[in-house]
Structures are given as structure tokens and as C-alpha cells.
Structure 1
Amino acid sequence: MSGHSKFANIKHKKEKNDAAKGKIFTKIGRELAVAVKEGGGPDPNNNSRLRDVIAKAKANNMPNDTIDRNIKKAAGEGSGDNYEHITYEGYGPNGTAIIVKTLTDNKNRTASNVKNAFTKGSGNVGTPGCVSFMFDEKGQIIVSKEDCEMDADELMMLALDSGAEDFSEEEDSFEIVTAPEEFSEVRLKLEEAGLVMADAEVTMIPQTWVDLEDEKDLQNIQKTLDLLDEDDDVQDVYHNANIE
């Protein structure tokens, strides 16, 4: 992962999203609603999926009362029932691979918007599975060095003892990687140890990266990513373009 600091991307996103917190909170609100419905109710102590979304909400500076309000609303009849998960896969400039995960109550609208985002960036939506084999699904926890009192060795031992698969040190952060099914437990153990997490989620990590150096290619993929980012139905976007 060297040279691809997730923490730098998070900081960039958070700075950019300060002006669009409402949009981020809307997306996380949907995730909370679905987690309550599909994960086993509104009590995070009995719903690990909900616990994970709450951790994501807190990492995005969502206020506790907003989180609680979303959970209570989701516990009401009908809320969250009409959302479904749809994943789109496709290609950006220079053969870059892009995965788009959505949570939608209108499949036609979402499909049209996602296709439009790819097209405007000179890319195209492909068939299911066309690029996902180029990624590994992993739990990923990012800890900012400025928020961590432990040294690298101490944190590494804690992470590995908690069940993590891998640990790496970046310039300004630490990255902890887990198997998807171990993510909740590892995150919980680190949280109980008092660790502050800049980001914690199950994500798709590219096996290889594609360097984009042509200015037009860089503009095109940025156009696609910006359009997807603006879409309320889009929850997560993963790609293997090296655009730093």
C-alpha cells in the first residue's frame, strides 16, 4: 500500500466534505436504516452490523443525537425496507477498474446516474464481476499518528493479537487490515483499548494500481468520481487508479 496513503485520501475527503456534511449524513443515515432492518434491530450490543455503521458515522463526525435519531426512525415500521444493494462495475480511462456500491429505492434512477457518470468520464459500465476479481475485500482500519499514543510495535502487537491479518506504517498513519468476517471483532477490541480511528470499514483493496499520467485521463476519472460522489444513492466507490 506504500505510496497510496488512505489517510491522505480521508483527510482530502473530509476537507472536501465539510461543505457537504448533509450529503454524507444522508448516505450514512441510509446505512443505519438498513443495518437496523437487516442486522437484527436497533440495539448495537446485539447487532454487530449496526455497531460498524455507528463507528463509520462517528469517524465522519456525525453527531450522536443524529445517529440516535436515525436509529430510532429506522426502528419504526417500514423505514429502510425499500432500499436495496446494487453493485456496478466498469472501466475508467486507460483501463482503470471502478466498483460502485449503491443503496437505492429506485433502480432505474441509480442505473441511469451511474452510467452517466462513467460515460462523462469516457468510461463504461461493464458486466457484474468484470473488475471485482482485481480487488480483495478486506476490513481496513486507519489510525492517525497524531491521535495514537502507542508506538508502531505496540500497536502492531495489539492489532495482530486482536485478529488482524496485516499492519503497515505510513508517513502520518497506521493501517490495520483484517479479513472481512473478523473486522467487527478487531475494530471492537481496538476501540475497547482506547484507540481513536480515523476510518474503519470493510473495503475493496486493489491488487494492482494503474498509473494515470495523461492530463485528459486524470480529468476524466476525476469527473466520474465527482459525479458518483454527488449521487445520494452511491455509498462507496473503489478504483485502482493512481491519481495522487
Structure 2
Amino acid sequence: MSGHSKFSNIAGKKGKNDAKRGKIFTKIGRELALAARQGGSNPDINSKLRDAIAKAKVNNMPNDTVERAIKKGAGELEGTEYMEFSYEGYAPCGVAVTVDVLTDNKNRSAANVRYYFDKYGGNLGSTGCVSYMFQRKGQIIIEKNEEINEDELMMMALEAGAEDFNVEDEFYEIITEMQDYSSVREELEKSGLEFLSAELTMIPDTTVALSMEEAEKVQILIDKMEDDDDIQNVYHNAEFPEGFEG
């Protein structure tokens, strides 16, 4: 996510994602495997797996790749057992950062996270040092097009249980409480809507406005972390300046 100015960066992030699709599939595959290991391979009774499958669908992950990851997690195929961890700290300019890790080697991942903070102008903090600045929410991003009626979409989302509906130049953002995310997403899916993004995320209560030069420094740290296969998500409260490409 990209803080208050996330919409100006979604298109750019999507372009990066297209160029790194194999890496994205690896990360989503880990989410699928973990969800299947924790709650079984039947998405009808495993909401975490349903959410991971929906994320795979949004990212155009092939069905056979999805099924293979689920079978690995459920023990039907040989696979790696992953562990979840979170780290917190600060990027340059006092930007708060939380990092979700899904790894088979905690020591390696911890060392890597510390290295990224130290190398790129930030510092790793203790548990809880910045997480209180964020709220766990469901976030669905829908790209505007002529076939979508804004008022109808807003009513549909709110009637499905969404908490908020925001309109930007090129996108609609639907926010849900964490516990309502799955049901809202599934209700919107029934209408045939296509999502640019659909996931549980961390939304900051306040943001840190950056200059172009500051934004470059913060973005380097974020990019280095997102390139690491063990790091699933990087959340922050940076507010990038208008026109910043990332």
C-alpha cells in the first residue's frame, strides 16, 4: 500500500507486478499453502483459503498452480512448511513500516529484514512500536470504466457490509472491517465485478508527507523488501508527492 496517495501509485505498482509475476505467484503460493495447512484444503469451510484463492484470481495465477500449492499445504504433495512472523520499524524520514514474513527459515528472514532497514536508512524496532498506527482492514480496488455505475456500486458495496466507499480519479476503493472482508468480496464477485486488488491490508491512521527526494529514499527500502521472497507484505504510512512514479 502507499498511504494516503496510494491511488496515484496503484497503476505503477501493477506495472511492477506484471514484470515480477513469477515472484508474486511464489508469494501467493505460500499463502495458499499456509491457509490449507491451517484450515484444510476445502475453501467452502476455510475462509482464509477462500481469501487466498481470490487473491490468486485477481493476480491471474493459473488454476493448476493454485491447486498444487493447496495440495502441498494440505500434505497431499511434498512441500515446505512455512511460518508467519511480523517485524516493525521505520523507513527514512520517520515513515512507519510493518513487514509480514512467511518463511521456512526464521533466522535468515530476520537477518534480511534487519539488513534492509540498516542498509537503506531505516531502523528495525521492537514489536508494537508502529503497529498501533495501523488498522487491519479489507480493501477492494476496482478500476473505473464506462460499464460501472458509481452510485450503484456504492450502494451494492454498502449493502454488502462495506464500511466505506471512496472515489478517486481512476479507481474505486471499498473498505471493510477485517471480519466482513470475505463476505463483502464474495457478494461483489457474484455481480461479475473484476478487482484490480482485493486483500486484507494495514491502513494507517495518519500519514507522513514526503518530498520527491524523500520519497525516492523510502521507495528504495520498500522495493528491496518486496523483492525478497520471504517478505509477503510491506505496509507503511508514507504519503508520496503528486507525480511520484515509484
Whether these two folds match at TM > 0.5 is yes
1:51 maps to what in 2? 50
Secondary structure at 1:36's aligned position in 2? helix
Write the letter of the residue equivalent to 1:201: E
Aligned alpha-carbon RMSD (Å): 2.0
Among 152, 163, 168, the alignment partner of 1:154 is 152
2:237 maps to what in 1? 240
2:187 maps to what in 1? 189
Provide the C-alpha distance between the structure 2 equivalents of 1:120 and 1:79, rounded to a whole number of angstroms: 36
1:122 maps to what in 2? 121
Provide the C-alpha distance between the structure 1 equivalents of 2:205 and 2:167, rounded to a whole number of angstroms: 18
Secondary structure at 2:11's aligned position in 1? helix
Percent sequence identity over aligned pairs: 56
Write the letter of the residue equivalent to 2:33: A
1:9 maps to what in 2? 9
The answer (yes or no) to whether the contact 2:144–2:170 under 8 Å persists in 1 is yes
Superposition deviation, residue 150 in structure 1: 3.0
Superposition deviation, residue 8 in structure 1: 4.1
Query: Runs (4+) of structure 1 moved beyond 2 Å?
Result: 3-11, 72-82, 217-220
Provide the C-alpha distance between the structure 1 equivalents of 2:233 and 2:193, rounded to a whole number of angstroms: 25
2:72 maps to what in 1? 73
- Point out the more displaced range, 74-83 or 124-133: 74-83
Superposition deviation, residue 78 in structure 1: 8.0
1:91-147 per-residue CA deviation (whole Å, 9 max, x = no partner) reads 11121100101111111110111111111221100011100111111111111112x
Superposition deviation, residue 238 in structure 1: 0.5
Write the letter of the residue equivalent to 1:13: K
The answer (yes or no) to whether the contact 2:37–2:75 under 8 Å persists in 1 is no
| Superposition pairs of residues 104-183 of structure 1, within 5 angstroms | 104-146=103-145, 149-183=147-181
Superposition deviation, residue 47 in structure 1: 1.4
Secondary structure at 2:172's aligned position in 1? strand
TM-score normalised by length of structure 2:
0.91
User: Cα 1:79–1:166, aligned 2, differ >3 Å: closer, same or farther?
Assistant: farther
Gaps of 5+ in 1: none
User: Cα 1:232–1:91, aligned 2, differ >3 Å: closer, same or farther?
Assistant: same
Secondary structure at 2:68's aligned position in 1? helix
- Point out the more displaced range, 181-190 or 18-27: 18-27
Superposition deviation, residue 17 in structure 1: 2.5
Write the letter of the residue equivalent to 2:40: G
Gaps of 5+ in 2: none
1:193-226 per-residue CA deviation (whole Å, 9 max, x = no partner) reads 21111111110011111111162x3332122111
The answer (yes or no) to whether the contact 1:140–1:202 under 8 Å persists in 2 is yes
Write the letter of the residue equivalent to 1:131: V
Provide the C-alpha distance between the structure 1 equivalents of 2:166 and 2:176, rounded to a whole number of angstroms: 12
1:212 matched to 2:206? The reply is no
The answer (yes or no) to whether the contact 1:34–1:81 under 8 Å persists in 2 is no
1:225 matched to 2:222? The reply is yes
TM-score normalised by length of structure 1:
0.92
1:27 maps to what in 2? 27
Write the letter of the residue equivalent to 2:220: K
| Superposition pairs of residues 94-109 of structure 1, within 5 angstroms | 94-109=93-108
Asked which structure has the greater RCO (Cα within 8 Å, sep 6+), the reply is 2
Secondary structure at 1:46's aligned position in 2? coil
Superposition deviation, residue 46 in structure 1: 1.9
1:89 maps to what in 2? 88
1:167-189 per-residue CA deviation (whole Å, 9 max, x = no partner) reads 11111111111000110111111
The answer (yes or no) to whether the contact 1:7–1:142 under 8 Å persists in 2 is no
1:35-61 per-residue CA deviation (whole Å, 9 max, x = no partner) reads 1111x2112122111111111111112
Write the letter of the residue equivalent to 1:203: T
